[in-house]
Amino acid sequence: GDLVDVEFKDDAYKMEIIENSDQFMFLKRIDPTIEIEIEKKTSLIKINLKNHISNLTCSNYVFKM
């Protein structure tokens, strides 16, 4: 899949888009292990960062091309 830049606090990572549909987008990176699932309809973001799981709600999306 395509690569995207994802920022967490002061760190930036290149991640691969594994799946992108009308309902959700799934991003993944191997080293360090990061998985992100974005539910587009509910704005819920599930993040698995080195086996630490967080659920966030987002009110704004920023996409840069």
pLDDT at 36 over 60: yes
Encode 7-22: b = buried (16+ Cβ within 10 Å), e = exposed.
eeeeeebebeeeeeee
List C-alpha distances in Å: 54 to 3, 14, 24, 35. Answer: 22, 19, 17, 11
pTM of this prediction? 0.81
Please give the pLDDT value at position 62.
61
Tens digits of per-residue pLDDT, 13-24?
Answer: 999 999 999 999
